[in-house]
Amino acid sequence: MTDYERFGDYQPSERSNFGTAVTFLCIGLGVGSLVALLMAPQSGRKTRNMLRRRYEDAFDAVSEKAESLRDRAGEWRERGSDLADSAREWAENAKEKARPIGRAFKK
């Protein structure tokens, strides 16, 4: 027995269809771009060269950004490691200071 049979009539979701609309918009933009490139007044060689240059520029920009993010991630990892070491030292010191107090309560 399904949930909608158990609890009553099925009620459709009230979520918006925004995600679906954005997906179809992106697909339409891609198809439109492809058609525009194929119907361009330039020769095929010029269009391919232009696409190759733009691809290489975009690839270089993404590579630089990825390298920058990789460097920042390494810095964050080092900082996190330093903070974890500091917290570990603090906890060990607190444990050593608390031992005499714990022994006093056991008596």
pLDDT at 14: 67
Tell me if 40 sits within 8 A of 47, measured CB to CB. yes
The per-residue pLDDT of the chain, averaged, comes to 85
pLDDT at 8: 62
Share of the chain above pLDDT 70, in %: 84
Give 42's contacts (C-beta < 8 A, 6+ positions apart).
50
Q: Decide if pLDDT at 61 tops 70.
A: yes
- C-alpha 39/C-alpha 26 separation (Å) is 20
Share of the chain above pLDDT 90, in %: 50
Domain enclosing residue 11, as ranges: 3-106
pTM over cut 0.75? no
Q: Decide if pLDDT at 93 tops 80.
A: yes
Joined tokens for residue 76? 């964050």
Joined tokens for residue 44? 């095929």
Please give the C-alpha separations between residue 104 and each of 86, 93, 95, 100, in angstroms, as whole numbers. 28, 18, 14, 6
Count of domains observed in the chain: 1
Q: What is the pLDDT of residues 7-53, one digit of tens each?
A: 666 566 666 788 889 999 999 999 998 888 778 788 878 888 888 99
Tell me if 10 sits within 8 A of 4, measured CB to CB. yes
pLDDT at 13: 64
